[in-house]
Amino acid sequence: NVADRKVLGLHVRMFRNSQEVIEERIAIVKKLYEYYKDKKYAEDYAMFLEYLDNTVFISFYPNPLIYTRQILPNQNMQFLNFEWREEMFELCKNYRLGLDSRWDLLTKELIDRYHELGLKVNAWTVNDKKIANKLISWGIDYITTNILE
């Protein structure tokens, strides 16, 4: 799958699930950081920071998130998962990554563990209102859905 996008004026070609694109995305983040950290671009830098404030970086792969954490220490990031393993919690804890999980893997206890560290939790893909309400009662931070009601 190929998608063309413009990110802050840069033309970006994204391929899903390929190492090449992961490296490309890391390079883009690094280029953006290097460009905007120069204070002569203060107005652009402020816009860039505002854009980042409203952006959540997500990945099934930890390395791009770890690298991005070094460049953008306060960036909102979430580790995507489709199966639960305890070492994921340690990874998220060590690098301050929120969790972006399949909804059926979540429990109130797991959400609470992340919240105790000040980390956010997203559930995907929830298209059933009863499930959504249960997750909300557990304190979920975000819900990804295909239903816009």
SS (H, E, C) 70-99: HHCCCCEEEEEECCCCHHHHHHHHHHCCEE
What's the predicted TM-score (pTM) here? 0.70
Residue 84: predicted pLDDT: 87
Higher local confidence (pLDDT), 18 or 47: 47
Cα–Cα distance, 8 to 51 (Å, whole number):
9
Amino acid at position 19, single letter:
Q
Task: List CB contacts of 53: < 8 A, sequence separation 6 or more.
Answer: none
Mean pLDDT of the chain: 79
**Size (the chain), residues:** 149
Residue 33: predicted pLDDT: 65
Strands (E), the chain: 2-7, 10-15, 56-59, 76-81, 98-102, 121-124, 142-143
pLDDT band for 130, please (50, 70, 90 cuts): very high
